Amino acid sequence: MASALPLYDVDAIWVDEDSLKQRNLTSADINAGTIINHTRVQALLTSSKSILSF
């Protein structure tokens, strides 16, 4: 699935570190994305032109 994302101009996937912890997951449990902390999440949301959340 992640291999199709460039077709839609998706060039980065970020994963919230706290969300992983809440779900008892680690980076080894997911196969895509860069794990970021809450401060970085807030900075990205503040500076983004468009936001898609699923």
Tell me what pLDDT residue 31 has: 80
DSSP string across 22-41: HTT--GGG-SS-EEE-HHHH
Are 43 and 16 in contact by the 8 Å Cβ rule? The answer is no
For 5-51, how does the pLDDT look when each residue is reduced to its tens digit (9 = 90+)?
888 888 888 999 999 999 999 988 988 789 999 999 999 989 988 88
Q: Is the pLDDT of residue 53 over 80?
A: no
